[in-house]
Structure 1
Amino acid sequence: MRRSEFLRAVEAEFGARSASLVDDLVLGAVGSRTASEALAAGVPPRDIWLALCEETDVPVERRHGVGRLEPRRG
């Protein structure tokens, strides 16, 4: 998962709350940092996404593949 995919996934899942969750919610699974701090520290976006999902009780079926753009069709 790339940073851009992470940001799309957060927006898709949390909508208007996404910015505050990324900037304010401390995630123990990524070193007791916010998602923004973890990204800045070089934590892989997928690890942050999964930590955010776990902390906010996102159902397992919505944790994978979100944030990816559809493949280009030629």
Structure 2
Amino acid sequence: MPRKMPADLYPTEESPGLRVRGGTRYSSSQGDYVCGGCGAEDHANGDANVTRRVEDYTNNHGPAHRGGRR
């Protein structure tokens, strides 16, 4: 299986999902999602905003559309 390059890890309409990158000393954390169920997408910078985006995706999008936890 070919290894995915970082640019391939961003969610897209063709490959929806959630991507979170932790912050470093030189950059803040980042999060992106594209929902495969309804097409919603969002981006966040900073720990608090990324945490809210992950909660939103988990509770209202990806897993929720697949019959998972709500």
Same fold (TM over 0.5): no
Considering fraction of residues, name the structure with more helix: 1
| TM-score of the two chains, using structure 1 as the length reference | 0.30
| TM-score of the two chains, using structure 2 as the length reference | 0.31
Q: Which has the higher contact order (CA 8 A, sep 6+)?
A: 1
Larger Rg: 2
Considering fraction of residues, name the structure with more strand: 2
